A = this chain, B = another copy of it.
Amino acid sequence: MSRTLARDLHSHISKSVTIQGWLHKKRQLGAIAFLVIRDRSGLIQVVIDEPKEQAKLDGLQVGTIMEVTGTVVEEPRAALGAELHQPTLTILNPILDVGPIEIDKQIDHKPENLETLFENRVINMRNPKEGAIFKIQSAVGDGIREYLKSQDFTEFHSPKLLAEPTEGGAEVFKLDYFGKTATLAQSAQFYKQIMVGAFERVFEFGATYRAEPSMTTRHMTEFITVDGEMGFIESFQDILDILSGLMNATSDHLWTHCAPELAMWKATKPVLTAKLPEVTLKELHALVLKETGQDFTKEKDPTPSEERFITEYSAKHWQSEAVFITGFPASEMKFYHYQSPTDPEVAVRADLIFRGVEIVTTSQRENSYPKLLEQLSKIGDPEHPGFRYYLQAFKFGLPPHAGFGLGLERLTQKMLGLNNVKEATIFPRDTGRLVP
C-alpha cells in the first residue's frame, strides 16, 4: 500500500489512490454519503454511492481511523480541487463514542470560552484551524533558529534545575532535591552570559518558570523563551540590529512556509522596516499626552495602553508594526546592567513592542568584573552559589555584550493576531491549570 496525502491528491487525477486518515465529517444526501477524511496535510472529500460501502460506516463516529481506496476526480468546488469516487473503505480503528466537541466546527476563542478550549485541547487540536496555530509556532521557531544560525550564533541547553534562587525569590518554584532545595530556572540569563565566554554568540530555546500568581492575557507559569546573547558588540545598536533582522527573517520564513495556515486565521504579514524604529519612553509619554490627553509621564514603564498606542502610531507614521522603546530609567534595572558612562541615569535597554505587546526585552550587560562586583554587592552576596560561578566568567574575561529574551508563544500569538498568549500555547499552565 502506498499512501497518498491530501496535499498530493491533485496530481493523481483519474488514477486510483489509497488515502488514510480520520473520519472528520459524515453527511448523507439521499442515497449518497459524503465523507471528509483528515490527514496531516489536509481534508479529502469522499463520495460514496455504493450501499455496501456506506454500511461499513454504521455506528462509527468522527475520529474513526480508516483507509479509502478510490478514484481521484477533478472537482473545482472541493478545497483540494479533487475528490475520491467509487471508494472501498477499510476501517482501521472504529470509534464508537461521540466526541465532546465538533472537530469540524470552528472553535470560538472568546475570552469566556478559553478554559473550555484548553480543557478540550486533546480533541480540538484536531480542528485544522486550531492545529494551524501550532504548525505556525513550529515555523516561528524554525525562522528564528535559521536566522540566528546565519548570524553565527551557537545553540545550547542550560539546566532548569538550579541550586538556590538569586533574582526575584518570591516568584520561584522550589522543590526537594535529594534532601536539598532546588529551584526552577526563571531565566537562562546567567548561563547565556557565561556561554559568551566561549562561543561569543549563543541562543537557547528553553522553558522558563514563573511562580507569579497573575492571571492576565500575557502571563503563564511555564513558557518558552528564546534567550540570545552576543559578545564583542561595538555598541548596543548591534543587538537591536540582530532583533530587526530576526523579526524580518521570521516573518518572511512564516509567510513563505505557512501561507495556508496563516490564511485560516486571516493573518496579515507584519509591516516591518529593515531597521525597526526606536522611541524613548519620554517621547512616548509626550506623544500619548499630546495625542490622547492621557498623562503617563510619571510611569517608569510603558503602560499596556501605551504599548497599543505606539504600535498603531508606528505602523502609521514609521511603516513598522514593531517598535523599540528605549530610554528606561537605569534605577529600575537588574544588578548586571551596563551603566552608560555618558548618561548613567538612562538604561542601555530596549523593549520590542510588536502589535501592542512587549515580545522582547534586551539590554547591554556590565562586562567589567570590578564594576559588576560593586553593583552586585549592593543587592546580594557574591559568594552565594547562585552568583559565584557566574562571577568567574567575568573575573576571567568577558567582552562587551548584550542579550535578549523573546517569548516564543507571544510572538506566535501576535503573528496570528490572537488576544491571549495561552491561545498560542498548546498546553498552557497558569495558577489554576496543570492539565492536560
Task: Contact check, B134 vs A62: say whether CB atoms are below 8 A apart.
Answer: no
Contact residues in B for A156 (Cβ distance below 8 Å): 134, 137-138, 426
Cα distance A388–B436 in the bound complex, in angstroms:
8
A138 engages B154 (CB within 8 Å): yes
Q: How far apart are the CA atoms of A182 and B429 in the complex, in Å?
A: 11
**B-contact 0/1 string along A85-103, CB 8 Å cutoff:** 0000000110101011000
Chain B residues near A360: list those with CB within 8 A: none
Q: How far is the CA of A434 from the CA of B429 in the complex (A)?
A: 25
* A134 with B159: CB separation less than 8 A: no
- Inter-chain contacts of A177 with B (CB < 8 A): 173, 221, 434
Which residues A402-436 have CB closer than 8 A to chain B? 408, 426-427, 429, 431, 434-436
Chain A 267-308 near chain B by CB (<8 Å), digits 1 or 0? 000000000000000000000000000000000000000000
A154 nearest CB neighbor, chain B only = B138
Is the Cβ of B180 less than 8 Å from the Cβ of A175? no
Considering only CB atoms and an 8 Å cut-off, how many residues of chain A contact the other chain?
94
- Interface pair B173/A176, CB less than 8 Å apart: yes
The answer, yes or no, to whether A400 is at the interface (CB within 8 Å) is yes
| Contact between chains at B397 and A65 (CB < 8 Å) | yes
A65 in contact with B398 given A194-B436, A435-B163 (CB within 8 Å): yes
CB-based contact B396/A93 at 8 Å? no
Copies of this chain: 2
Smallest beta-carbon distance A230→chain B, Å = 11
Q: Say whether, besides A131-B198, A135-B154, A398-B65, A389 and B122 are in contact (CB < 8 Å).
A: yes
Q: State whether the Cβ of A49 lies closer than 8 Å to any Cβ in chain B.
A: no
**In the complex the two chains form, is B174's CB within 8 Å of A397's CB?**
no
The answer to whether A174 touches B176, judged by C-beta atoms less than 8 angstroms apart, is yes
- Is the CB of A399 closer than 8 A to any CB of chain B? yes
- CA distance in complex: A269, B245 (Å): 36
Contact with B along A188-206 (1 / 0, CB 8 A): 0001001101111100010
Q: Are B396 and A157 in contact (CB under 8 A)?
A: no
Decide: A396 and B232 in contact? CB cutoff 8 A: no
Residues of A at under 8 Å CB distance from B? 1, 3, 20-23, 39-40, 61-65, 92-93, 95, 97, 99-100, 121-123, 125-126, 131, 134-135, 137-138, 141-142, 149, 152, 154-163, 173-178, 180, 182, 184, 191, 194-195, 197-201, 205, 207, 209, 211, 213, 221-222, 224, 231-232, 234, 367-369, 385, 388-390, 392-393, 395-400, 408, 426-427, 429, 431, 434-436
> 5 shortest A-B CB distances, which residue pairs?
A63-B397, A389-B436, A175-B175, A40-B200, A63-B396
